[in-house]
Amino acid sequence: MAFTSFKSLSTSVLTLTLLAGSAHATLFSFASDDDSSQFTFRGTAASGSSFGVVNGRDPQGTPVTLKIDDNNGANPTVTLNVNFRANFTATFVNSVGLAGAQTFLYSVTGSFSFVDSASGAALLTGTIGGGNQPGALTILGTSTTWGSSGSLFSSDTAYNFAGAVTWTAAAGLATAISGAGQNPLNYGVPVAGGSSNTPDDFSFTLTNLNTGGGPVPINSTSRLPTAAWASEGSFSGSAVNGIPTPGALSLIGLAGLIALGRRRR
C-alpha cells in the first residue's frame, strides 16, 4: 500500500510539473556604446546621503540591442531593438584601501527596464532591493575622486536565494520574441508574462566615468559625488529558472500540497 501511494504521489507531482512547463535558464545582455552619441548612464551630485543613477540616453531615442539567450543552449540568440530606462538610488556604505587606491561601496535600490520603442511600454524589468536586500555599486578611486570604472550588480545567491533580484516580463516581450521568429517558451519567457523566482542576477559594467571635464569629484568625508556625471555601460543578467507564469507557479504549489496531503495519510 505504501508503494502504491508513493507511485500515485509521484505520478501526480510529475503530471502537474509537466503541465507547468519545464524551466529554461534565460540570459539577457547588451553591449556598451550601441549609441555612440550618448552615454549609457547619467548620475546626479549627492543630495543628502544619496545620489541618483538614471539612463543616459533618451529612452525614446536610439535603442539598445538587447540579446536574449537560452543559457547557451541549442536555440539562436534573439536580438531585439528596445529602449532602456534606469532609476537607481545609491547610498555610501564603506571604503577599503587597495594598494594606494580606495574601493568605494554603495548600496543600490531601484529598477531598470527595456521598453518597446514604438509604444514605450516596458517589456522586461529588473528590480533590486526587495526585502531590504540592496544591490551594490563599487568604484575604484582616490580619497577625492572616482576612478573611471566601476560595477553595479546584485545576485540572489548573495542573499541565499531571497529574491534580491526579480525579473518581470510583460506579454509584449513574448510577442517581440515571436516576431523575431522564435518560440518565447524556449527562452523561459511566458506568453502571458510573469515574474521570476530565484536564483537571478545582473551586472552593469561602468566605464569612462566622467563629468565632461575630468574625473568625478567626491566629498572626502561622505564619499559621495559632488558633481553630475556620466558613463558608458554594458549589461548581462540571468534568470536561472526562467520567468514562469503565475499559473505555472500555482500548479507547482498544488503539486506540493498534494505531496503534503499524501504524506499525512
Nearest to residue 180, comparing CAs of 27, 65, 60, 59?
65
Tell me the pLDDT of the chain (265 aa) as tens digits.
343 443 444 444 333 333 344 457 899 999 987 777 889 999 999 999 999 999 998 776 778 999 999 999 999 999 999 999 999 999 999 999 989 999 999 999 999 999 999 999 999 999 999 889 999 999 999 999 999 999 999 999 999 988 899 999 999 999 999 999 999 999 999 999 999 988 999 999 999 999 999 999 999 999 999 999 999 999 999 999 999 866 544 444 434 444 444 444 5
User: 264: helix, coil or strand?
Assistant: helix
Burial of 164 (C-beta count, 10 Å sphere; 0-12/13-18/19+): buried
pTM, entire model: 0.84
The helix/strand/coil state of 196 is coil
Q: Alpha-carbon dihedral of residues 169, 171, 173, 174, nearest 10 degrees?
A: 120
Q: Distance between CA atoms of 235 and 155, rounded to whole angstroms?
A: 14
Please, what sign has the CA dihedral across residues 136, 72, 21, 175?
positive
Which residues does residue 262 pair with via DSSP β-bridges, in sequence order?
A: none
Whole-angstrom distance, CA of residue 85 vs CA of residue 90 = 16
In this structure, the chain runs to a length of 265
Residue 86 C-alpha cell reads as 534606469
Q: Residue 198: what pLDDT?
A: 85
Q: How many helices (H) and strands (E) does the chain have?
A: 3, 13
Cis peptide before 199 (omega within 30 of 0): yes
Cβ–Cβ under 8 Å, residues 185 and 235: no
- Cα torsion at 75, 79, 83, 89 (round to 10°)? 50
Domain ranges across the chain = 1-23+247-265, 25-243
- How is 144-182 classified by DSSP, letter by letter? SBEEEEEEEEEEGGGGTSS-SEEEEE-HHHHHHHHHTTS
